[in-house]
Amino acid sequence: MTKGQFKMRRCGMAGVEAVEATTRHVFPRHTHGQFGIGVIDRGAHKSLSGRGMVEAGPGDTITVNPGEVHDGAPIGDAGRSWRMLYFDPPVIARAIGDISEGRTSTYEFSSPVITDAAIAHGVRQLFAAMTTGEDATVGQEELLLMLLAQLVHELPRGLQSVPLTIRNAQGLIDDDPAAPVTLADLARESGLSRFQVLRGFVRATGLTPHAYLVQRRIHAARRLISRRMVLC
């Protein structure tokens, strides 16, 4: 893979995307609509995450939750390479439901960087299995469940909850990111004033409502591109 290259790999399991990257690019604040977990293969990376500034090097596992604001920059001039899997929330919810024997389907990664060789090995195995070009297999499902079971035991704490009023406003955007929406619309949905919505969004997500809307539209466009690639 050449420098500055991003490659989306076809996944056989529905609701999963795979990305390989080698880049020196500095990413501004953004979010993903999916759970992300991957491994740094080369170089080092720093990111302002939902838990402060973190750094990751070769062999470290990196994670991100849906809607979690983060950025990213290389450490040094050589750039960095990583492999990342992105899971639609229902995929993780079903897996956590199985692992917990139906007690819960709610889960969030509680550490943006994990220094654990066994977990990194599990991520690499899962990435390889997901990108063979085959349709979903029992082996893929097994590897996903085993990896998440490790993470559930290693990472018991979750993110701070977003206030219900702001979740309602987020929901209005999430239901149809392409639709035009105003601060007044978000205020009516949340029961807050326009300024309270603005201030609450920034406190809860790190993004203004407009920036959040832009991110959701980017996610929707990326999903459409991915689906077209799979159909080709």
- Quick: pLDDT tens for 76-95: 888 899 999 999 999 999 88
HSE-CB at 184 with a 13 A cutoff on CA atoms is 1
Closest CA relative to residue 126, chosen from 218, 32, 35, 30: 35
pLDDT value at position 4?
60
Rounded CA-CA distance 111/65 in Å is 10
| Per-residue confidence (pLDDT) for residue 232, from 0 to 100 | 52
pLDDT for the residue numbered 222: 77
pTM (two decimals): 0.68
pLDDT at 3: 45
Q: What mean pLDDT, rounded, does the chain reach?
A: 84
**Mean pLDDT, residues 141-148:** 89
Nearest to 129 by CA among 107, 147, 152, 112: 147
Confidence of residue 227 (pLDDT cuts 50, 70, 90): low
Q: Is residue 183 classed as helix, strand or coil in its secondary structure?
A: helix
More confident residue, 170 or 139: 170
Highest mean pLDDT among 5-14, 82-91, 191-200: 82-91
- Beta-carbon neighbour count of residue 210 at 10 Å? 13
Helix or strand (DSSP H, E) at 91: helix 89-99
Confidence at residue 159, expressed as pLDDT on a 0 to 100 scale: 38
**45 and 22 Cβ atoms separated by less than 8 Å:** no
Q: What domains are defined for the chain?
A: 5-154 (2.60.120.810), 164-231 (1.10.10.60)
